[in-house]
Structure 1
Amino acid sequence: MSIVSMTEESIKALGRVAVLLGGDSAEREISLLSGQAVLTALQSRGVNAIAIDVSPDIAERLRSEKVDRVFNILHGRGGEDGKLQGLLEMMHIPYTGSGVLASALAMDKVKTKQLWAASGLPTPRFSVLHDNSDWQGLIEELGEVVVKPAHEGSSIGMSMAADASALRHAYEKASQYDTAVIAEQRIRGAEFTVPVIHGESFPAIQLSTSHEFYDYDAKYLAQDTNYLCPAPLTPEKTTELAELCLQAFSNLGAEGWGRVDVMQDQQGRFWLLELNTVPGMTDHSLVPLSAASRGMDFPELVLHIISGGAVSGTP
């Protein structure tokens, strides 16, 4: 079902749509903003949509509200890691985005990088950190590193480290959010993100910030973060990046929609960082910006995502 075919009849065929938002992850506040934007967009196009702030009684809420389909906009753990997807499949409720396995894999930065590396896809070298890690040895092996929780998004708990002392401090910071922490070789150069929606790569965005890196504040609060879309790449590099992101997406078995984050080093080589299976949809978010660059407004984008199919099938 394309945007062109979204007639009044096809809108009605979507049934009662629940926008699942909020939850209890570290990304709750962003999810609330994303969810409200998605809800408003759906309702503006005549969709019978409601919002549900996810809590332990979510199964009962879905039954009592007689939900036909779900737009999942829960960021982080509980909504992006396969748990919610498993529940929805058991309840036979179609939903947006990737299924159980791909969601769980993409949420785990270690498993993601292991699969990409094993498939010959370029991703920076990394090491899983522990309390007794050889901090100096890791710096000597990897150089400057990016330290981050293995199961968080939105750059939460993330920091840079160029020496052993800073690495230990960064590990302690990240450990506040996750029991699994990784140190990833820092790639210096241009940063890009590429949305993938129903098997198609959307225009790449190049990110530029005055912050040390593209952190939480740069993503959601700062007004001086620059987004270049379409990214200023040669046609050859544009094609290379798009094909790489499609490969990275399908390699994890992802479906529906998502966003692949990539670095380009000083030699022009691309390096895969991570796959977001439930990207942000706020006024600072990147998937809407990419869609707008090709003439698709926000409500059209939301309808495109939800009408393009659902993992558990349409009832």
Structure 2
Amino acid sequence: MGGPSAEREVSLSTGRECAAALRGEGFEVVELDAGRDLCDRLRATSPDVVFNALHGRWGEDGCVQGLLEWLGLPYTHSGVLASALAMDKQRSKAAYEAAGLPVVHSLICEKAQVMAGHVMDPPYVVKPNNEGSSVGVYLVNAAADAPPQLSDDMPAEVMVEAFVPGRELTTTVMGDKALTVTDILTDGWYDYDAKYKPGGSRHVVPADIPQPIFDLCMEYAVRAHDVLGCRGVSRTDFRWDEARGEAGLVLLETNTQPGMTPTSLSPEQAASIGIGFGALCRWMVEDASCNR
């Protein structure tokens, strides 16, 4: 849990909640705030299973997964390749597209180029290619006269993605099964604050959407999970432009380490079909593996 990424605070929250739930399930749990001494601490602790509660870079991009493979420690969530591929938004979108899954047009551009002039017609979104939780996301409105002026901490290369109007939908996959669909309602852009601050968003579970769209979300989420080679729990996010019907549904990205507090999207979906938070955490521990 924890770690040095931009999503550290979210990870600490996930770690605390999962640790409490696992203790409630009868497990002996040691909480490790992941720092540069993580390898030594793992060797000293010698756990039976590592519950990976990290979010963001180093924790869900294949780095810590490679360390755990090297140490021969079974761990939750996806392995090295799937984690690295899912964290790279542009490459994962290429994998979706090759598998016939619908995606929205995007480019990888130099930060300076994006700040010098519009690289595509507004509206569009600018974001890091390898961060989650809507960290560093800029929405450029249709009426924008000037390109966005990005912060100094944005990477040298960024993703520029055509904006898709409509509803924010998400579906969790657990093993080989999609759980349900959530409709995420906000007053504006579904940014970091909307995701994590009290009252920032409202979740409708299951989503009140036409059955064909619901079914497609379920199907596409499983296909995305399989295309990337995920294991354990993943969550795929969608945008749906109602005016275009089924053609208006597109995949945005797959999260191999979705938030894991009792009120997070994936646990909320599990609870809606009768899988409590403790049972979900137990399943993830029992599903843990390495050398895959």
TM category (shorter chain) comes to: over 0.9
Note the 1:299-314 alignment, pairs <5 A: 299-312=278-291
Q: Structure 2 residue aligned with 1:192, among 152, 169, 192? A: 169
CA distance in 2, matches of 1:252, 1:189: 26
Say if 1:134 and 1:71 are closer, same or farther in 2 by CA, change over 3 A. Answer: closer
Aligned to 2:198: 222
Amino acid corresponding to residue 181 of structure 2 in structure 1: A
Distance apart, 1:28 and its partner CA = 0.3
Say if 1:105 and 1:166 are closer, same or farther in 2 by CA, change over 3 A. Answer: farther
Identity, in percent, stands at 38
Q: Structure 2 residue aligned with 1:297, among 276, 279, 292? A: 276
* Mapped contact 1:259–1:275 kept (Cα < 8 A): yes
Note the 1:19-34 alignment, pairs <5 A: 21-34=1-14
Amino acid corresponding to residue 208 of structure 1 in structure 2: L
CA distance in 1, matches of 2:200, 2:36: 39
Aligned residues: 287
Aligned to 1:279: 258
Q: Structure 2 residue aligned with 1:67, among 44, 47, 65? A: 47
* Mapped contact 1:256–1:309 kept (Cα < 8 A): yes
Aligned to 2:16: 36
* Mapped contact 2:62–2:80 kept (Cα < 8 A): yes
1:267 aligned counterpart, secondary structure: helix
* Mapped contact 1:255–1:311 kept (Cα < 8 A): no
Note the 1:93-108 alignment, pairs <5 A: 93-108=73-88
String of CA shifts for 1:251-305, please: whole Å, max 9, x gaps.
1111111110001113122100011111111254101110111111110111122
2:199 aligned counterpart, secondary structure: coil
Amino acid corresponding to residue 48 of structure 1 in structure 2: E
Distance apart, 1:86 and its partner CA = 0.5
* Mapped contact 1:193–1:261 kept (Cα < 8 A): yes
Distance apart, 1:120 and its partner CA = 2.2
**Structure 2 residue ranges without an equivalent (≥5):** none
**Structure 1 residue ranges without an equivalent (≥5):** 1-20
CA distance in 2, matches of 1:295, 1:133: 46
> What is the CA RMSD across the aligned residues, in angstroms?
1.7
Aligned to 1:132: 113
Amino acid corresponding to residue 132 of structure 2 in structure 1: G
* Mapped contact 2:107–2:160 kept (Cα < 8 A): yes
CA distance in 2, matches of 1:278, 1:185: 25
Distance apart, 1:69 and its partner CA = 0.9
CA distance in 1, matches of 2:48, 2:99: 38
* Mapped contact 1:135–1:164 kept (Cα < 8 A): no
TM-score, normalising length: structure 1? 0.86
- Which moved further from structure 2: 277-286 or 246-255? 277-286
Say if 1:164 and 1:224 are closer, same or farther in 2 by CA, change over 3 A. Answer: closer
1:192 aligned counterpart, secondary structure: strand
1:49 aligned counterpart, secondary structure: coil
